[in-house]
């Protein structure tokens, strides 16, 4: 018996319900939950032979689930149960407690842990694969802080009603990013706690010398919330005109420093 079908067209790809699709090299989302990929388009056939393939690598093949004639979903990784108490699953082999697995270990079908774009393909008979036009972004592990915006203070930049001797640059909005600058919400530390600590210091060696006496007195440290943090560093006295270099350090509270990035002001 032969079944002939019209090759479905994939018009959109979602990763965990979000477009454009992006997944960390581990295959998990910001909550360490294995990611689900949805292919929107069709017409898809309800068959047990539905398969998804990533990066044109057969070892990445995962069974797909028929949702409707216009959508199928598939996991991006093979999973395993890491907690019998709550039934928590993770991408295999993440979650091992014997120290044999790197915390940010890349999925085995990836050639290395570098960020990249990969192809997404599907099959309705587990033999003939059809490529989607849209790629899937694979982003890297937390690498540094990315300044995504800064709200400057104009009228009161050289003080406030409470303290005319202090000064602030305004509020700096930051987010954790991978080595390529792709921002992410992944900030679970290796000890299992959420939130990385951030600290801002002045690079005195390349900032105006006449302001060496000015110190950061408040608003220069905090903890990220799903990768995001906004700080308003305030100096102990007004600064002279010039270019100031701020060093933003990012720490996993359970492991130590990840990376240092410099923000030019």
| Residue 79 confidence (pLDDT) | 94
Q: Are strands 51-54 and 36-42 parallel, antiparallel or unpaired?
A: unpaired
Query: For the chain, which domains are there?
Result: 9-139 (2.60.40.10), 144-264 (2.60.40)
| Residue 158 confidence (pLDDT) | 42
Could you tell me the CA-to-CA distances from 205 to 89, 199, 208, 210 in Å, in that order?
A: 49, 18, 8, 12
Residue 153 has pLDDT above 80, yes or no: no
Could you tell me the CA-to-CA distances from 217 to 36, 44, 103, 224 in Å, in that order?
A: 45, 61, 35, 20
Q: Which of 7-11, 113-117, 121-125, 145-149 has the lowest mean pLDDT?
A: 145-149
| Residue 265 confidence (pLDDT) | 47
Which comes out higher in pLDDT, residue 74 or 147?
A: 74
Burial of 123 (0-12, 13-18, 19+ CB in 10 A): middle
| Residue 204 confidence (pLDDT) | 75
Confidence of residue 238 (pLDDT cuts 50, 70, 90): confident
Can you tell me the distance from the alpha carbon of 204 to that of 65, in angstroms, rounded to the nearest whole number?
Answer: 58
**What is 232-254 written as a DSSP string?**
--EESSPPPSS--EEEEEEEETT
Can you tell me the distance from the alpha carbon of 265 to that of 258, in angstroms, rounded to the nearest whole number?
Answer: 22
Residue 151 has pLDDT above 90, yes or no: no
Average pLDDT, the chain: 85
Confidence of residue 161 (pLDDT cuts 50, 70, 90): very low
Burial of 33 (0-12, 13-18, 19+ CB in 10 A): middle
Q: Around Cβ 228, how many Cβ atoms within 10 Å?
A: 14
* Torsion sign (Cα): 21, 22, 26, 28: negative
Residue 89 has pLDDT above 50, yes or no: yes
Confidence of residue 264 (pLDDT cuts 50, 70, 90): very low
Which comes out higher in pLDDT, residue 258 or 125?
A: 125
Could you tell me the CA-to-CA distances from 71 to 10, 42, 52, 130, 241 in Å, in that order?
A: 9, 7, 13, 15, 58
């Amino acid at each position: 018996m032969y079944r002939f079908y019209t090759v479905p067209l994939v018009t959109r790809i979602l990763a965990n319900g979000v477009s454009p699709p992006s997944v960390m090299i581990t295959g998990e989302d910001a909550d360490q939950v294995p990611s689900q990929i949805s292919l929107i388009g069709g017409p898809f056939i309800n068959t047990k032979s539905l398969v998804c393939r990533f990066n044109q690598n057969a070892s990445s093949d995962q069974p797909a689930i028929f949702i409707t004639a216009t959508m199928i979903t598939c996991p991006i990784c093979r999973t395993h149960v890491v907690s019998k108490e709550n039934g928590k699953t993770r991408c295999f082999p993440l979650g091992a407690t014997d120290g044999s697995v790197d915390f940010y270990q890349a999925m085995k079908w990836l050639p290395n842990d570098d960020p990249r774009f990969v192809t997404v393909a599907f099959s309705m008979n587990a033999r003939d694969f059809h490529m989607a036009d849209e790629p899937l972004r694979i982003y890297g592990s937390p690498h540094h802080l990315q300044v995504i915006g800064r709200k400057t203070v104009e009228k009161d930049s050289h003080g406030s009603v409470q303290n005319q001797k202090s000064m602030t640059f305004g509020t700096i909005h930051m987010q954790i990013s991978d080595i390529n600058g792709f921002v992410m919400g992944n900030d679970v530390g290796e000890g299992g706690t959420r939130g990385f600590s951030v600290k801002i210091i002045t690079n005195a060696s390349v900032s105006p010398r006449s302001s060496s006496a000015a110190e950061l007195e408040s608003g220069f440290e905090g903890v990220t919330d799903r990768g995001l943090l906004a700080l308003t560093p305030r100096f102990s006295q007004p600064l002279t005109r010039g270019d100031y270099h701020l060093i933003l350090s990012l720490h996993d509270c359970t492991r130590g420093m990840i990376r240092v990035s410099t923000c030019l002001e």
